[in-house]
Amino acid sequence: MAPWFDWWAEESHRGTPVVVKMENPNWSMIELESPCEDDLLIGRSDKDRGKNAKQLTWVLLLRAHKAAGCLSSIASAMMAVSAAVHRRIASGRTDSDIVNENGSNESPIVRSRFFNCIKLFLWMSIMLLGFEFVAYFKGWHFGSPHLQLQHLISAPFEVRGLFGSLYSTWVLFRVEYIAPPLQFLANACVVLFLVQSADRLILCLGCFWIRLKGIKPVPKRPAQDIESGKDDYFPMVLVQLPMCNEKEVYQQSIAAVCNLDWPRSNILIQVLDDSDDPLAQILIKEEVDKWKQQGANIVYRHRIIRDGYKAGNLKSAMSCSYAKDYEFVAIFDADFQPTPDFLRRTVPHFKDNEELGLVQARWSFVNKDENLLTRLQNINLAFHFEVEQQVNGVFINFFGFNGTAGVWRIKALEDSGGWMERTTVEDMDIAVRAHLRGWKFIFLNDVECQCELPESYEAYRKQQHRWHSGPMQLFRLCLLQIIRSKVSFWKKANLIFLFFLLRKLILPFYSFTLFCIILPMTMFVPEAELPSWVVCYIPATMSFLNILPAPKSFPFIVPYLLFENTMSVTKFNAMVSGLFQLGSAYEWVVTKKSGRSSEGDLLSLIEKEPKHHRGMSAPNPDSMQEASKQELQVKSRKKKHNRIYTKELALAFLLLTASARSLLSAQGVHFYFLLFQGISFLLVGLDLIGEQVE
């Protein structure tokens, strides 16, 4: 037998595709994708060859059709994006219009300082890019900047010309005066980055240990209760539902708390309405009256003056004379829907545990798959709850109260000084003061409470500004109190260095400074360098760790990394405003709700509730007629539009300019990072992420 046949049989036995070419003109080249089972026929007749040609033609046609469909989809998407960009530019609405509409007390000069600094860097980068392009085409770009300088200085002025003299002066100036401080700042930010990454890694290892050992907070129940399956522990619980102009979500939240499985004689629900919208007041009050008629123990409270915002609302509610009759208070924001067994799964942890001050439940999100923005938020918050909150709760019995979906011992609130209106993070404020008084916290990762995520970038931006400016306000106010407290040195160190400095101040500082300012500058000052592992590998590893608690979000790991760097602008600005008490640090804007959970979840809740609780309120049309007309008139005058965000756009052009400069230096990793990060800033700056509004 021919040697080639032995070789073909051996490779076919291995399952290797083999191409055999025969010299016989009646046979053709064929590809065997799997070994033949019965026959080893290699040749093909002219008829079979024609049949295969037709099949190949159909395959090529199908692939061409698929490619045309993909091109058509891409073209449609590009047209939609172009139309959206055109609408943004034509409307001329920017983020400064948002500030003006909200009536900010911050000086326009103070507000524009940050933007002016970004614009300065942008214009400098454009000018330097022009310099570098001319130098590149003149052949002045050698491997080392010192070779550039030596070549230019050694040439006579007639050869260098005016531009050559200016360029050589620039190279000399950046080598002597710009590169050393820039490299020092870059190294400092890299050190901070590594410390924060180590902290993140330790938290992940702690979460892995908790899962490996099955560590879980367990209520202290008597042995007879465990054996019988009964528990008669039903202390007096006050349920507070603060809200403000939230007509989209008030029904399901009131329905959810009214269906909590707890003896009616041992529970009181306070609906704390701070609405200044007459229609919202009427709707919420009639909803409360409806549930009261159905037998719920519920009261409606309305404040005319919103002093202290949410903290003032809660403080006012706790000042009621009947509040002293209750031992615990459960707090839910307006878009939260606790399950009926929420109190049965949280309150028992307080039994026979007098040191316990707070039981915090995890959040879950009904609209996490609504758009790209909600998916990216879900990654962040999943890591926050499953890793940060759970690890801190298990190992040190302290974490920041999330402001909702938690149960407080009223004695702990009173012992810590009660609610204070001094910051926009009253939840973190009361948690820190309670921790300093020796109270312990428990986080329940298996008890979830449904809520909504902001679906528009505008709403998410305002929320993040408040969440990152408030901690810096609180840090300034309570630093001396922490130092003078009687808690152990390690608890003081954890509060000051980990809780505040590392996770609230250093994180937004290095994220913005390192990736949005220093990295672009190193493209124009190549004497200062950032290694590839800082730009790519460690951020990718940290993003991978962040996404582990939400494994279904792995396809979004790259957008998540880019979006987190994009949000560093807002977080850095908020951190600075809170640290130095700028006007925007004290703004409180209620996060916009869409009411996504008000239909399916509410219907399923109604199906489960007792008969005497069935039905939702139908507000009296006569009492609402005048208020509805007023609201329609306001809506006709105020229309919602997507806006252009100037800081993000300026940084987009800065990063894209730096990416063009890195292309001249053939820096692959830096080029791709700057390019995609610039595109990310561009999309966010044009408000193309999140909810789209005509």
Catalytic residues: 274, 427
CA dihedral 436, 438, 439, 442 (to 10 degrees): 90
Q: Outline where DSSP puts E strands in 579-619.
A: none
**Given the structure tokens 């801190």, which residue do they identify?**
392
CB of 186 closer than 8 Å to CB of 520: no
Residue in 588, 602, 589 with CA at minimum distance from that of residue 250? 602
DSSP letters along 49-60, please? Answer: HHHHHHHHHHHH
Please compute Rg for the chain using Cα positions: 32
| Non-local CB neighbours of 142 within 8 Å, separated by 6+ positions | 148, 151
Cβ atoms within 10 Å of 601's Cβ, excluding its own: 16
Query: Alpha carbon of 129 to those of 123, 133, 676: distances in Å?
Result: 10, 6, 19
Element (H, E) at 271: strand 267-273
Residue in 296, 300, 305, 332 with CA at minimum distance from that of residue 317? 300
Q: Report residue 327 as tokens.
A: 């031992």
Q: Measure the CA–CA gap between 452 and 364, rounded to whole angstroms.
A: 8
Can you name the residues that pair with 19 across neighbouring β-strands?
31
CB of 322 closer than 8 Å to CB of 268: yes
CB of 318 closer than 8 Å to CB of 413: yes
Q: Measure the CA–CA gap between 362 and 332, rounded to whole angstroms.
A: 12
CA dihedral 487, 492, 495, 500 (to 10 degrees): 140
Cβ atoms within 10 Å of 73's Cβ, excluding its own: 10
